[in-house]
Amino acid sequence: MTPAPIDTAAEPGRFINRELSWLEFNSRVLAQAEDPTVPLLERVKFCAIWYSNLDEFFQVRVAGLKDQVAGQFTGTTPDGRTAAQQLHDIRAEVDAQHDRVAACLGGLTDRMAETGIEILHWDDLGDEDRKFLSGEFDNRIYPVLTPLAVDLGHPFPYISNLSLSLGVLMIDPADGHQRFARLKVPATFGRFLQLPDEHRFVPVEQVVAAQLPTLFPGMEISETVAFRVTRNADLAVDEGEAQDLLAAVEVELRRRRFRSVVRLEVEHQVSSEIRNLLIDELDIGRDDVYEVDTLLELSSLWELFEVDRPDLKNPAWQSVNPLPRPAAGDQPLDLFARIREGDILLHHPYDSFTATVQEFIWQAANDPRVLAIKLTLYRTSGDSPIVRSLIRAAESGKQVAVVVELKARFDEEANIEWARRLEQAGVHVAYGLVGLKVHAKTCLVVREEADGVRRYCHIGTGNYNSLTARVYTDLGLLTADPEVGVDLTQLFNSLTGYGRNIEYRHLVPAPQNLRPTLLRLIRNEADRGAEGRIVMKMNSLADPEMVEALYEASQAGVDIELIVRAICCLRPGVAGMSDTIKVRSLIGRYLEHSRIYYFANGEGIGAPAYYIGSADLMPRNLNRRIEALVAVVDPDLRRQLDHMLEINLQDDALAWELRADGTWQRVAKGAGVEAHTAFERLAASG
């Protein structure tokens, strides 16, 4: 029986559903692809991002809801929905977005063809093009294909997660019986095959489908359809029972390959025969089947974005080194000397990650006066310069400790490999605390100097990843403040050793301190009534207790402005509940990832408080992760944060606003402020 959707139009309620709020975020991503003012290939890229986001959503969030239904869990979310009701509403919204992306891609394909970039169907090709692609098939693709029959002697094959397949129905002329086979489309050659003129592309599965008589000689092909399977990919490690966390994660990664199917995508022209066969063999329901009018695996559109057409993309931005540059012939800037002069606030990707954070760790690794380096590693790039620096430091005799988060979703295998390489180099590797993910972005460098041992710190909002640092907006604080150094030393000691009831001065770690500290700061503003002001910038806001605290502050008259990129379960602008709360979201060429928390009256002493760090206001960040916020106390850096928040709040080009009914709308055009461009100009002007 299909559950009835919840009608929130008459009584909005206090909370917006977490899953539907995330889908609204992905809808805003899709709106970038639909926006004719966005450069053409950037629009294609946003289609790819929308699709990749949706893949992860099904692998984790939808999979979790299905587990709840299977386990007969009867609880409801803060907004009153059961798991079954959420799945029903998710299906409706995903269907609507699929319709939008199909219409959008139709227009984009036409526009690309006008500019000389064509996605062609096999049926549209001339003889010369077919001859060329047939040669590509014979020479490169055919040798790696493995057709898999399905009959009494050949059980239905395992279908790997997110792989693209062809389902083939055929008639055997010898007996007139119908046969079925599955053919995995190899990812080795990319999603598109390029014709010799280098601006026309053909989906690889269409080339394979055209050559099926070669793969099934003597058979009569009656139907060919592309399909794609999505499996539950959440990691379930019982850390309380595991004797060796690394080994336990490796075992679970192997098991994950065979987790249950949560979605089947198939071309819309599929026959009932193939559809029903796949439903039965994959053990799924009809509501798990998505018949789509577009190519499958739209994340592959990244390949088209990589076409060398700068005229169809945003102008390339070259990050700026914000630090003083030495004169010609001088030695490179001594970062330690510069940090001793005063704290540095970094704003990526406008400020170069390579010239600042990466350079900081490189100098530490190569400085003979550095005694120790400690760092938390959540996600890093494939060929990480930072990890190479840590290995070099350990090999040169420095004490190096790295807390590696093995359970960073979809980066587990990469982090296991890094952990092993670090250990082989003599690095002390720890995996954090049982039951908690280490999500903090922190680095501590201990250096012996003429006046004694000094600690240098980096605390950021983003990962130590040189690739994402080019496209994620993040903040980082470089400081030699002795009190921050003591705090960070205590945090690392608690991660690699044991410790409870630690008192911190400037650092606010989760889970022990973050929730009570933020609640206290919110309530202090509420005590000031209309003189209170709160500005928060984060990725997501979903924690019920935090939402209720903000409602209470609003009812006390506090002016509250929230900049939330993705999920927001708070309902703003409701009379008597959240009148003074405004929520906006910025979606543009860079992914908004920085977290800033501002309280006009701070700890109740009339002085404002500013924090930056790794934590969003989600239950997982507050309860189940090691996070770290740091107080920004330098007056100049506070003014920089004020300016950043001001630009984010003035933006009327990238910004959307959340309405009381839970829907988002673009902010009305006004002064023409575009935050990403404004920050680029600020960085370029020095």
pLDDT digits (tens, 9 = 90+) for 545-562: 999 999 999 999 999 999
Q: pLDDT-derived band of residue 675, with 50, 70 and 90 as boundaries?
A: very high
Amino acid identity of residue 56, one-letter, is E
- Residue 493 pLDDT exceeds 80: yes
For 579-610, the pLDDT digits (tens) are: 999 999 999 999 999 999 999 999 866 689 99
The confidence score (pLDDT) of residue 360 equals 97
pLDDT of 4:
46
Tokens representing 47? 């289609």
- Say if residue 465's pLDDT is above 60: yes
Residues that are catalytic: 439
Q: What is the distance of C-alpha 540 from the center of its chain?
A: 12
Q: How far apart are the C-alpha atoms of 425 and 418, rounded to whole Å? A: 11
Which of 72-76, 363-367, 470-474 comes out lowest in average pLDDT?
A: 72-76
- Predicted local confidence at residue 233, as pLDDT: 87
As a whole number, mean pLDDT of residues 517-525 equals 97
Quote the tokens at residue 328. 């010609």
Per residue in 445-473, is it b (16+ CB within 10 Å) or e — as a string? bbbeeeeeebbbbbbbbbbbbbebbeebb
What is the reported pLDDT for 603?
A: 83
Please say if the pLDDT value at position 6 is more than 50.
Answer: no
> Do 532 and 526 contact (CB within 8 A), yes or no?
yes
Phi, psi of 423 (to 5 degrees): -65, -40
| CA geometry: angle 253, 255, 260, nearest 5 deg | 115
> What is residue 1's predicted lDDT score, i.e. its pLDDT?
42
Of 3-7, 250-254, 569-573, the range with the highest mean pLDDT is 569-573
Asked if 358 and 388 touch (Cβ cutoff 8 Å), the reply is: no
Can you list the alpha helix ranges (DSSP code H) found in 411-513? 412-424, 482-496
pLDDT range class, residue 239, cuts 50, 70, 90: low
Q: What average pLDDT does this structure show over 79-103?
A: 96
pTM > 0.85: yes
Q: How far is CA 233 from CA 58, 242, 516, 577, in A?
A: 9, 20, 33, 38
pLDDT at 434 over 90: no
Burial of 155 (C-beta count, 10 Å sphere; 0-12/13-18/19+): exposed
Cα–Cα distances in angstroms (integers) from residue 196 to residues 133, 160, 206, in the given order: 10, 32, 17
Q: What is the pLDDT of residue 198?
A: 85
Nearest to 531 by CA among 602, 627, 436: 602
Please give the mean pLDDT across all residues of the chain.
Answer: 92
Q: Identify the three-state secondary structure at position 682.
A: helix
Query: Is 204 within 8 Å of 193 (Cβ atoms)?
Result: yes
What pLDDT sits at residue 9? 37
Q: What angle do CA 248, 249, 252 make, to 5 degrees?
A: 90
Q: Residue 329: its pLDDT value, please?
A: 60
* DSSP letter, residue 122: G
Task: Indicate whether 62 pLDDT > 90.
Answer: yes
pLDDT exceeds cutoff 80 at 330 = no
Question: How high is the pLDDT of residue 405?
Answer: 84
pLDDT digits (tens, 9 = 90+) for 370-428: 999 999 998 876 678 999 999 999 999 999 999 988 876 767 778 788 888 899 999 99
Give the confidence band of 253 by pLDDT, cuts at 50, 70, 90: low
| pLDDT given for residue 238 in this prediction | 58
Rounded to a whole number of angstroms, the CA Rg of the chain reads 27
Nearest to 82 by CA among 145, 168, 155, 6: 6
Whether pLDDT at 476 is above 80: yes
Band (236; pLDDT cuts 50, 70, 90): low
Least confident of 509-518, 597-606, 619-628: 597-606
* Residue given tokens 């990962």 in the structure block: 463
Helix or strand holding residue 598 (H, E) = strand 596-599
> Looking at residue 11, what is its pLDDT?
39
pLDDT above 70 as % of the chain: 94
**In the sheet where 220-231 sits, what is the strand order?**
147-150, 178-184, 164-171, 220-231, 261-267, 289-292
**pLDDT tens profile 15-42:** 999 999 999 999 999 999 999 999 999 9
| Residue with the larger pLDDT of the pair 243 and 661 | 661
* CA–CA dist 376, 361 (Å, integer): 13
Identify the H or E element spanning 347: strand 344-348
Q: Are strands 261-267 and 289-292 parallel, antiparallel or unpaired?
A: parallel
The 10s digit of each residue's pLDDT in 284-327 is 999 999 999 999 999 999 999 999 999 999 999 999 999 987 76
pLDDT tens per residue, range 165-186:
999 999 999 999 999 999 999 9
Cα–Cα distance list, 179 to 132, 154, 160, 553 (Å): 30, 11, 22, 66
